[in-house]
Every structure is written in structure tokens, then in C-alpha cells.
Amino acid sequence: MKTKRLAGDDKTIKIWDTSNWKLLHTLKGENQAIHSVMFLDNNRVFAGGTDKSMVGEILEYHFKFNGLVKPVIATLWDVKNEKILQTISNHTDDIGLGMDISSDGKLLATPSKDRTVKIWSVN
């Protein structure tokens, strides 16, 4: 079975069986918009993004107003049980593309628009 993961602005990650396009799991989280998703193994998915509402993003990006910005979070999911295992919230701006996991699966790197890359221990 081939799987594909999709994420977007509806606070969800959807995991599909691409052989028949059957929806396997919907992971509903706390992020307002999910910018990147990666499988850590067959049952764990890590998602990073922003917790800014659309109004907050418009005000920030177009008018440089940061009053509606909430903490940015990343979430580690147990796919099978559709439960959050771990939440990370130390970045001060969006977590973007380019997240990566160490070859032993114990460390995760999250790049951010705050011009930092943070290294996390994965539980």
C-alpha cells in the first residue's frame, strides 16, 4: 500500500492510500496552517506550521502588524491512534519546509522563518 500525506489550512493532516485513494487517517491538530509534514516511521508523523489565523497572516505579511500572532508549534502524531504524542513550541515564526530527522530517528531538526534551526529529541 502506498500512502500520501496532505496538509493545509484546515488544521488537519490527511493520510491516503494512493492505490485506491481511500482516506486512512485525519489528524486534527492545533496549528492553524500546516506547512510541512514528514513520516518518522510507519506510525509517527511530524507536522510543522503556524498557529496564525488568516487575518493574523494578512496583517503580519502585508502590514507588518504582529498583534494577532500565536505561538508557532510543531506536533508529533501517533497515526494509528490519531493522537498527539509531543508538541514543540519554541520557534517565534513559521516552521517551514526542510524538517529532517537524524539517521537513527532520535533527533529532529525544524527550520523556521525566525532564522533558527532547532534540534529536538524525539520521544
- For residue 81, give the CATH number of its domain: 2.130.10.10
Q: Cell for 12? A: 488537519
b vs e for 16-28, b when ≥16 Cβ sit within 10 Å of the residue's Cβ? beeeeeeeebebe
- Percentage of the chain modeled with pLDDT above 90: 10
Q: Do the beta carbons of residue 40 and residue 86 sit within 8 Å?
A: no
Question: Model confidence over 39-95: pLDDT tens digits?
Answer: 888 888 888 766 555 555 566 666 666 555 555 667 888 999 999 888 877 777 677
Domain that holds residue 81: 3-121
Residue 39 burial (10 A CB sphere; 0-12, 13-18, 19+): middle
How many CB atoms are located within 10 Å of the residue 68 CB?
Answer: 13
**For the chain, what is the domain count?**
1
Is pTM beyond 0.75? Reply is: no
- The pLDDT of residue 89: 72
